[in-house]
Amino acid sequence: MGNSFRIGRIFGIDIEIHPSWLLILGFVAWSLSEGFFPDTYEHWSRVAYWAVGISSALLLFVTVLIHELAHALVARRRGLPVPRITLFIFGGMSHMSRQPATAGEEFQIAAAGPAMSILIAMVTGALGLLVRDSNEKAEAILFYLAFVNVALGVFNILPGFPLDGGRVLRSIAWKRTGSFRRATRIAAGVGEIFGYGLIALGFVLLLSGGVLDGIWLAFIGWFLLGAARGETAGMQLEGVLRRLVARQVMRAEFPSVTPGTPLQQIVDDFMVGHGERAVMVANDGTVAGIVTVSDVRRVPREEWLNTPAQRVMTARPDIVTVEGSTPALQVLTMLGEKGLNQVPVLENGRMVGIITRRELLDRIQLAERLAPKDGPPPPEPELSGDRPQPS
């Protein structure tokens, strides 16, 4: 998600926060300190309400993070890496590097989160009972966490994408129909109905006086609606890309210079001249490295004339490459994950072409425009209920 910033790393997973998260954190702390706790516990000082309110809001987000970590760790144990988790206005989101490969895998990953929330609720509830009568403030925090984690667990098993319940529903439909695409369509359809339902309910609440709750509910419904549609679109994109391999989306003609070529010439002839973002450095036909726009930018302009390509290039051993037979979807994922703009394509160790992110996205758009919108879906290469894994 754009604008997110990293706050740390747990179990090798980057934890990021989106600015919208700070907004909701402040809102939760405020509503607890000025509303919920004063209503529930009398005779505390204003400072105490706020101290307990802020602690509760922070701990709530710790439990949301634990919920996400439950998804991420189960996913990782099944060989599906999760590079990062983002906390944002609606809670948390684990970024999986690919879709689950089997219905069983999806079910386990999706169910782990709500199960963890319920577990947290039981533990904090039990601890709350323990400190009851001895420490009212700790009791207040623990009971609040128990209550809100039950709510989180229950809300998350509602069958709307991208809630865990939507994924559980898809895994069940997947198991029954044996088709990931059909299952996604079913789950996304239910998710859309669900999104509309929440929006309608939000308006009813709004008209009957619950303005804030109503707006909030409608907002969540609108978010679920968008997510359900996004899931369908993402699947269509995957369908297009799954049929293509690197060889088909690469450009076979790519600019190449000798190791001694000065940067000034590369900039003039290729980057400014032809809009290239990367140039291969080759020696007698074998690739020695790659020079990108960002490599050039690191050198002061007045030194471009005297700096040869080989001094700033990324050398061959460090270049990320793909094989001609690599699925296009995997190439796109990789470009995104590694933050690359281009990747050379190798065949039998020889460089045969280059894939740039911009050109790949153009091809996808074209393929989408050419694909029939309402016709029957293309035949699926899946019979057993297992999706071929891009490996």
**Which chain residues interact with Zn ion by CB under 5 A?**
113, 164
Query: Active-site residue among 68, 106, 238, 276?
Result: 68
In whole angstroms, what is the distance from residue 74 CA to residue 69 CA? Answer: 8
Output 113 or 128, the one with its CB closest to Zn ion: 113
Closest CA to 110 of 74, 57, 149, 155: 74
CB of 259 to Zn ion, least distance (A): 51
Handedness of CA 122, 123, 125, 126 (dihedral sign): positive
275, two tokens: 């809009």
Question: Smallest distance, Å, CB 305 to Zn ion?
Answer: 56
Q: Compare residues 32 and 157 and give the one whose CB is closer to Zn ion.
A: 157
CB of 276 to Zn ion, least distance (A): 43
Q: How far is the CB of 91 from Zn ion (least distance, A)?
A: 8
Q: Is the CB of residue 174 less than 8 Å from the CB of residue 180?
A: yes
Nearer to Zn ion, 68 or 238 (CB): 68
How crowded is the C-beta side of 281, counted as CA atoms within 13 Å? 23
Minimum CB distance to Zn ion smaller for 48 or for 123: 123
Please give the backbone phi and psi of residue 323, each rounded to the nearest 5 degrees, phi first. Answer: -85, 160
Q: Please report the DSSP string for 11-41 in residue order.
A: TTEEEEE-HHHHHHHHHHHHHIIIIIHHHHS
Alpha carbon distance 109, 171 (integer Å):
10
Least CB distance to Zn ion at residue 75 (A)? 11
Query: Position of tokens 């016709």?
Result: 375
Q: Shortest distance, CB of residue 116 to Zn ion, whole angstroms?
A: 8
Residue 23 is encoded by which pair of tokens? 């907004």
Tokens of 203: 């308006």
Nearest to 79 by CA among 103, 62, 108, 100: 100
Residue 68 appears among annotated catalytic residues: yes
DSSP state of 245: B
Query: In angstroms, what is the minimal distance from the CB of 67 to Zn ion?
Result: 5
Torsion-angle region of residue 44: left (phi > 0), alpha (psi -120 to 50) or beta?
beta
The alpha carbon dihedral of 210, 215, 217, 218 has a sign of positive
Would you say 124 or 149 has its CB closer to Zn ion? 149
Spatial distance between the Cα atoms of 267 and 276, rounded to a whole number of angstroms? 9
Rg of the chain in Å (alpha carbons): 26
Closest residue by beta carbon to Zn ion? 113
Which residues belong to the active site? 68
